Structure formats: structure tokens, C-alpha cells
């Protein structure tokens, strides 16, 4: 077995049985998992644990994880938008049937979702609002 990799990033590209099928890509002997290993100096090294939640990119030059704030923010906004859909689908007849207490809870929950990107620590530290149990 052979593993091909990108010499600039250390990222594993593919595992193959024939060395020639790697084309112009660099290869090392063995079968290495792209999610668990990177390649440097023609040797496979295990990735250390990621420092926390969010999207992290491996920097081969410093051999450290670098936080990708933009990608993490996009992913968090997409999750937030899906949560907003559950609130925004409320139709006027259903809204009118809710008690004033539940209307207030729903409004507060929706506003808290909208305010997520303004939280201190965004996007590295996010405190999600609690969804009303009845929703």
C-alpha cells in the first residue's frame, strides 16, 4: 500500500495499491488515514487533538492547529438559520392561539438566535439560547 500526499500542506490525498497511480504526487509506503495523520519529511505523524470546537486547519510549517474563524462563523450561522426556521414557520392562527407567556418566550428565543453573532467571543465561544420545550 502507498499513500499520496501534498508536500506543501502535509495533507494525505489518497491511499493506493500501486505507487504509479499517484501520478506526480509525493508518496510514502503504507496506508495512512487522512483524518488521523499528516506527512512531513516523508513520514506519517499523528495529528494532535484539536484545541476546541469550531473549524481548525492544520499548519504544516508551524505544526499547529489554526482556528478558521470565517468558516466557523459560516457554519454557526447556518445552524442558527435552521433554528430560526422553526420559529419563523409559525403562522398567524397558531401565533394567536399561544398564551401571552408563550408568545414572549418565542419572541425572546428568536431574538437570542438573531443576536448570536454579537456575543462576546463569537465565533469561538457561543452560548446557544435554550429552545422553548413546547416548540
Q: What percent of the chain has pLDDT over 70?
A: 100
Distance CA 83, CA 61 (A): 39
Instruction: List pLDDT tens digits, range 49-106.
Output: 999 888 999 999 999 999 999 999 999 999 999 999 988 887 888 889 999 999 999 9
pLDDT at position 23 is 81
Among 96, 98, 81, 80, CA closest to 135 = 98
The reported pLDDT for the residue numbered 54 is 87
Q: Is the pTM of this model over 0.85?
A: no
Measure the CA–CA gap between 114 and 109, rounded to whole angstroms. 9
Cβ proximity of 128 and 116 under 8 Å: yes
Domains of the chain: which residue ranges? 2-47, 70-118
CA 108 to each of CA 80, 85, 87: distance values in angstroms, whole numbers, following the listed order: 14, 15, 11
Amino acid at each position: 500500500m502507498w499513500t499520496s500526499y501534498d508536500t506543501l500542506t502535509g495533507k494525505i490525498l489518497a491511499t493506493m495499491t500501486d505507487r504509479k497511480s499517484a501520478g506526480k504526487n509525493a508518496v510514502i509506503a503504507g496506508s495512512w488515514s487522512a483524518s488521523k495523520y499528516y506527512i512531513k519529511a516523508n513520514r506519517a505523524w499523528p495529528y494532535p487533538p484539536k484545541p476546541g470546537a469550531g473549524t481548525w486547519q492544520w499548519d504544516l510549517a508551524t505544526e499547529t492547529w489554526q482556528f478558521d474563524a470565517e468558516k466557523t462563523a459560516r457554519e454557526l450561522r447556518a445552524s442558527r438559520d435552521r433554528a430560526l426556521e422553526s420559529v419563523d414557520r409559525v403562522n398567524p392562527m397558531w401565533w394567536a392561539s399561544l398564551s401571552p407567556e408563550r408568545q414572549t418566550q418565542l419572541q425572546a428565543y428568536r431574538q437570542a438566535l438573531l443576536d448570536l453573532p454579537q456575543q462576546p467571543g463569537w465565533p469561538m465561544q457561543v452560548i446557544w439560547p435554550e429552545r422553548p420545550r413546547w416548540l
